[in-house]
Amino acid sequence: MKAFELQNPVTLAEAARLLPTKEGDESARLLAGGQDLLTELKHHLVEPDRIVNLKHVPGLDAIEWGADGGLTIGALVTLQDLAEDERVRRELPILAEAAESVGSPQIRAMGTVGGNLNQRPRCWYYRNEHAVCLKKGGTECFAYEGRNKYNAILGGGPSYIVHPSDLAPALVALGAQLMLASPDGQRQVAAEDFFTLPSEGNVLRETVLAPNEILARIVVPPPASGMKSTYLKFQERSSYDFALSAVAVCIWMDGKKVKEVRMVLGAVAPKPWRVKRAEALLAGRELDADALKAVGEEALRGAEPLAENGYKVPLTKGLIVRALQKLS
C-alpha cells in the first residue's frame, strides 16, 4: 500500500476543504468505516496522498426521528445500528431488511450508511489492479465480452457494472433525500437522482457527488399512512454476499387493490433501477396471477442480458412476485 497522510478534521466544512476540487484529482479520499476503501488501497486501485477520516466529525452517527415521523440518518451510522433500530424495523422494514442483508455481522458493525452508498463497483475487472478497464480510465469494459455473470442487464453501456449497494434501492423506493456538504455549503439531492448511469455522467463515477462533496445525512420523508414495504435480495452464498438481484417495494393498498406502489430493482443495472411503468401498471389492480405476471414482464422490459447473466431476468421476475405476495 502506498504511504499516505491521515487527516482527522472535526467539522464537515474542514473535511470538505481537504478534498480535491478538480474532477479527476485523486490526491485525497474520504474514509468512513474503511470496509471498501482499505481494500481499494491494498489492491492499488486508488493511491491517494491524503486520507480524510470522517470519524472525528461529531453528529454524523445519529438516527433521529422528526415530530412528523420523518427519519434522518447520519452518514456515519453503521449498517448494524440501522438494521437493529427498533423503530426502523417497525415502521420502515424495507430499510432494516436492506441493512441487515449487507455482508456479514463484522462488515455491518464497521460499514457505514455513507460508505455503503458511495462504495465502488464490485466487477472483478474493476477490482483487478492489472485490468485497466473503462471504470479506471481505460477504453474498454472487459465484462461486455468477458466474464459477465454478475453484470448489468439493464441500463448498461459503455460500462456494465451493477451498483453494489443494498441500501440504495431501498432509499430510492422510500423517496429519500441526500444532504451533501461542500466548502460552499449544503445541497439536497433526491436519492433517485444521486446515482448515475455510465452513459449519463462521468463513467469514472457512479454518483453526482462532486470531488469535494461529502454525503452528510439521509432524510427519509414520513411515509404516507398505510405503507407496507420490503427488500428482497437473492445472493449466491447465504452466509454473506452481494446481491445477484434484489427488489425494493413500498406499497399502499386500498382494500384488495393497489393504490400506489414504488418499485426499485437492485444489482441488475449500474444504478438502482426504478420501474415506473411497472408501478403504473399495478395502480388500481388486484394482485392476482395476471397482474403479477404482467408486472414482472413490464419491469424487465428492455433487459439486454450479456452472455452469462440471462438468469437475472427470471430471477428478478420471481423476486418481484415474492415481494408483492409478501406485502399483500
**Shortest Cβ contact with ligand FAD: which residue?**
115
Query: Residue 110 or residue 253: which is nearer to ligand FAD going by CB?
Result: 110
User: HEC string of the chain?
Assistant: CCCCEEECCCCHHHHHHCCCCCCCCCCEEEECCCCCHHHHHHCCCCCCCEEEEHHHCCCCCCEEECCCCCEEEECCCEHHHHHHCHHHHHHCHHHHHHHHCCCCHHHHHHCEHHHHHHCCCCCHHHHCCCCCCHHHCCCCCHHHHCCCCCCCCCCCCCCCCCCCCCHHHHHHHCCCEEEEEECCEEEEEEHHHHECCCCCCCCCCCECCCCCCEEEEEEECCCCCCCEEEEEEECCCCCCCCCCEEEEEEEEEECCEEEEEEEEEECCCCCCEECHHHHHHHCCCECCHHHHHHHHHHHCCCCCCCCCCCCHHHHHHHHHHHHHHHHC
Query: Residue 65 or residue 240: which is nearer to ligand FAD going by CB?
Result: 240
Q: Pattern 282-311, binding to ligand FAD, x per CB under 6 A?
A: ------------------------------
Q: Pattern 35-54, binding to ligand FAD, x per CB under 6 A?
A: xxx----------------x
The CB-of-280 to ligand FAD minimum distance in angstroms stands at: 28
Regarding 32 and contact with ligand FAD (CB under 6 A), the answer is yes
Regarding 270 and contact with ligand FAD (CB under 6 A), the answer is no
Q: Residues 29, 271, 274, 312: which binds ligand FAD (CB under 6 A)?
A: 29
Regarding 248 and contact with ligand FAD (CB under 6 A), the answer is no
The CB-of-217 to ligand FAD minimum distance in angstroms stands at: 9
Q: Residues 15, 18, 19, 31: which binds ligand FAD (CB under 6 A)?
A: 31
Chain centroid, CA 178 distance in Å = 12
Regarding 75 and contact with ligand FAD (CB under 6 A), the answer is yes
Regarding 242 and contact with ligand FAD (CB under 6 A), the answer is yes
Q: How far is CA 81 from CA 84, 246, 284, in A?
A: 5, 22, 37
Q: Residues 74, 114, 169, 198: which binds ligand FAD (CB under 6 A)?
A: 114
Cell of 289: 396471477
- Single out the segment in contact with ligand FAD by CB under 6 A; choices: 31-39, 80-88, 147-155, 287-295: 31-39
Contact status, residue 304 vs residue 312, Cβ threshold 8 Å: no
Regarding 63 and contact with ligand FAD (CB under 6 A), the answer is no
- Single out the segment in contact with ligand FAD by CB under 6 A; choices: 144-152, 221-229, 240-248, 297-305: 240-248
Q: Residues 80, 116, 148, 245: which binds ligand FAD (CB under 6 A)?
A: 116
The CB-of-308 to ligand FAD minimum distance in angstroms stands at: 20
> Interface residues with ligand FAD (CB under 6 A)?
29-37, 54, 75, 79, 102-103, 107, 110-112, 114-116, 118-120, 164-166, 209, 214-215, 240-242
